[in-house]
Amino acid sequence: MSEPNVLILGPPGAGKGTQSERIAEEFDVQHITTGGILRANKDMETDHGTPREYMDAGELVPDPVMNEIVEKELDEADGFVLDGYPRNLTQVEALEGMTDLDVVLYLTVDREELIRRLTGRRECPECGATYHVEFEPPETEGVCGECGADLVQREDDTEAVVQNRLDVYHENTAPVVEHYEDTGAFVRVDGNGTPDEVWDNVKAAIEDAA
């Protein structure tokens, strides 16, 4: 399929970012993430203020503001892979008024595997380099290969926090997944394999939607 419109869904640790980057490169489409477009449009004037006003106050950017920003990005894109939006049924309804989706990919990963992936991440507090104790370890255990600083586990990646993040994700996004399950564009993809194995299934699902 040439320049498809793709939505990718899945819990934290499912590999959405990795697969989205490969989709963007393979199909020559724009990779649209909520974090990326919020940073790029912090001062965009909307009917409900700018994203910066909410971000600086430590508040969630409300749906109406998020919807306007997403619509702007989609209008400028010739094909896209959308990652991180929609997060609720209000945003689903808004998205349906903006564009048509060719395929909705839902990456499914066992909870134990998600916890293993997320709790194994390590970060360098000095240069920002990232590692994983199993999948991408540094040459010297616990030491950054870029600058030699001691690696740390982010608070977000401790098991207690990860468990809570997964609970919140499933509670909030279950209605979104259920909505798309009832559409012909929905494809469930097993995300338990290696990135290359998952990519083979992701690529096939997009090509089959052509």
- The question of whether 203 is a catalytic residue gets the answer no
Is 16 an annotated catalytic residue? yes
* 121: annotated active-site residue: yes
Q: What is the DSSP string of 115-160?
A: HHHHHTEEE-TTT--EEETTTB--SSTTB-TTT-PBPB--GGGSHH
* Residue 112, burial from CB neighbour count under 10 angstroms (0-12, 13-18, 19+): exposed
The yes-or-no answer on residue 87 being catalytic is yes
Catalytically annotated residue among 42, 52, 111, 165: 165
Q: Is 22 a catalytic residue?
A: no
Active-site choice (72, 87, 188, 203): 87
Read off the amino acid at residue 105: L
- Catalytic residue from among 22, 117, 121, 122: 121
- The percent helix, strand, coil of the chain (3-state, each to 5) is 45, 20, 35
Catalytic site positions: 16, 87, 121, 154, 165
